[in-house]
């Protein structure tokens, strides 16, 4: 278990719960501080749809009692934390007999698979490109080509997605524009369906990978430049080791450690950005479900998805944090001195 000490483990697990608690509490506190009231908002939509609602006060009142909005705030808060712990937020507001949780579960695998593939791909490509850019021995022609890969770095994922849809899907008809699979195929473990799902995933994947890899590349470039000047790196070169060995074993291996921390910290924003990508591509994951819930003002579903994503992100960060000392034995004391 190398550098994974007990105090480090306990500290990371505490951080995991703290992160979840802060995130979950913010989504409870801010709407209540603002004084806005979901029941009134719902009634306004009802009025817009039907023109006139009879007994509006009574409807608001019955909503408030059935969702416990008349209780004092601390009691509401404790009940809310209970929901979070039990993963149970009650019924969906908009589709009443269905439980909020059941609206979310079918969407989960879509998001998890798309995101983990996108995150790993963009990190691997970014780290490779960045290391080559920061390495003194990289051939000139490669040095001049590599910065091209940074072109899309400053474009938000979803805007790049819009461009891809309009050009590749609508103009050129190379790939399907929206959805997770076509209506013509039969969902299940058969070849046409799997092929169709993969085809539908290409554009969302490209729009995340091409726009997020530049950030990793830039960070890695700086780290690699730093390693270039280290004594052990110069020694490895002076010993006459092959350039490939110096590059991978002495260069990337030492430079990648802070990049991994950055990766752990970046998971949250990656997931946030992917909500919009799913919305653009109408991809059947949690992001798109969230968008529909917002449209329908389905507050229990919104809450389920938000808290679930907060927990999943925190779990991802925790796993990376616990793997980290195994990769870098120095970390247990390094973090305590200066992070």
Partner 1 sequence: MAVLATNSNTQAAARRVNIWDTPWLNAKFVTGSSIIVLVLLFGLLGPLFWNTDLAFTASSPVNLPPMWDKGGSPEHPLGTESNGRDMLAQLVVGIPASLKVGLLAASIGMGIGILLGSLAGYLGGWTDHIIRTITDSVITIPSLMVLISIAAYVRMPDTTAMALILALFAWPGPTRLIRSQVLTLRERGFVRMALLSNVPALEIMLFEMVPNMLPWLAASLTGGISGAILGATGLEALGLGPTRVPSLGTIINYALNSSALVRGMVWWWLPPIITLVIIFTAFFLMTVGLDEIANPRLRGYGNGK
Residues binding partner 1 (CB under 8 A): 15, 18-19, 22-23, 26-27, 30-31, 34, 36, 38, 41, 136, 153-156, 158-159, 162-163, 165-166, 170, 177, 218, 221-222, 225-226, 229, 264-265, 267-269, 271-273, 275-276, 279-280, 290-291, 293-295, 297, 299, 302-303, 305-306, 309-310, 313-314, 317, 338-339
Rounded Cα distance between 295 and 301, Å, is: 11
Rounded Cα distance between 318 and 17, Å, is: 10
* Least distance (Å) between residue 319 CB and partner 1: 12
* Least distance (Å) between residue 72 CB and partner 1: 19
Closest to partner 1 by CB, 208 vs 314, is 314
* Least distance (Å) between residue 194 CB and partner 1: 27
* Least distance (Å) between residue 149 CB and partner 1: 14
Give 89's Cβ-side CA count (13 Å radius).
21
* Least distance (Å) between residue 313 CB and partner 1: 5
* Least distance (Å) between residue 197 CB and partner 1: 22
SS3 284: coil
Closest to partner 1 by CB, 70 vs 339, is 339
Rounded Cα distance between 244 and 284, Å, is: 43
Residue 148 DSSP symbol: G
Closest to partner 1 by CB, 67 vs 193, is 67
Closest to partner 1 by CB, 193 vs 222, is 222
Q: At what angle do helices 157-164 and 253-281 cross, to 10 degrees?
A: 60
In contact, 165 and 176? CB cutoff 8 Å? no
Cα 312 from chain centroid? 9
Tokens 């970014």 -> residue: 126
* Least distance (Å) between residue 188 CB and partner 1: 30
| Phi, psi (degrees; rounded to nearest 5) at 155 | -90, 130
Tokens 């991994």 -> residue: 260
Closest to partner 1 by CB, 23 vs 126, is 23
SS3 92: coil
Closest to partner 1 by CB, 117 vs 294, is 294
Q: Which helix (H) or strand (E) holds 63?
A: helix 56-66
Closest to partner 1 by CB, 78 vs 265, is 265
Tally Cβ neighbours within 10 Å of residue 311: 17
* Least distance (Å) between residue 317 CB and partner 1: 5
* Cβ neighbours of residue 67 closer than 8 Å, sequence gap 6 or more: 39
Closest to partner 1 by CB, 3 vs 268, is 268
Rounded Cα distance between 202 and 209, Å, is: 10
């Amino acid at each position: 278990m190398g550098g994974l000490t007990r105090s480090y483990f306990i500290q990371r697990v505490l951080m995991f719960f703290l992160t979840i608690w802060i995130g979950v509490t913010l989504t409870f506190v801010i709407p209540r501080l603002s004084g806005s009231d979901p029941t009134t908002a719902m009634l306004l939509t009802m009025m817009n749809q039907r023109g006139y609602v009879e007994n509006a006060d009574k409807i608001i009142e019955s909503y408030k009692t059935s969702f416990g909005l008349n209780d004092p705030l601390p009691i509401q808060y404790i009940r809310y934390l209970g929901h979070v712990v039990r993963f149970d937020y009650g019924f969906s507001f908009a589709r009443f007999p269905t439980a909020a949780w059941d609206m979310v579960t079918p969407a989960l695998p879509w998001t998890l698979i798309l995101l983990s593939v996108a995150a790993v791909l963009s990190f691997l490509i970014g780290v490779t490109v960045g290391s080559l850019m920061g390495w003194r021995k990289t051939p000139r022609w490669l040095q001049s080509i590599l910065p091209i890969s940074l072109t899309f770095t400053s474009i938000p994922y979803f805007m790049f997605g819009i461009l891809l849809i309009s050009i590749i899907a609508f103009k050129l008809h190379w790939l399907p524009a929206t959805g997770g699979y076509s209506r013509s195929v039969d969902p299940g473990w058969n070849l046409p369906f799997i092929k169709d799902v993969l085809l539908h995933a290409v554009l969302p994947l490209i729009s995340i990978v091409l726009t997020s890899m530049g950030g990793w590349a830039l960070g890695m470039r700086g780290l690699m430049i730093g390693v270039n000047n280290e004594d052990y790196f110069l020694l490895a070169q002076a010993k006459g080791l092959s350039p490939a060995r110096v590059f991978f074993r002495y260069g990337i291996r030492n430079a990648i450690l802070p990049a991994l921390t950055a990766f752990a910290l970046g998971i949250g924003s990656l997931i946030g950005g992917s909500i919009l990508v799913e919305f653009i591509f109408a991809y059947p994951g949690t992001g798109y479900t969230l968008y529909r819930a917002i449209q329908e003002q389905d507050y229990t579903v919104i809450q389920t998805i938000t808290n679930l994503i907060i927990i999943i992100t925190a779990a991802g960060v925790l796993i990376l944090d616990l793997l980290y000392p195994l990769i870098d034995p120095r970390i247990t004391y390094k973090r305590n001195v200066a992070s």
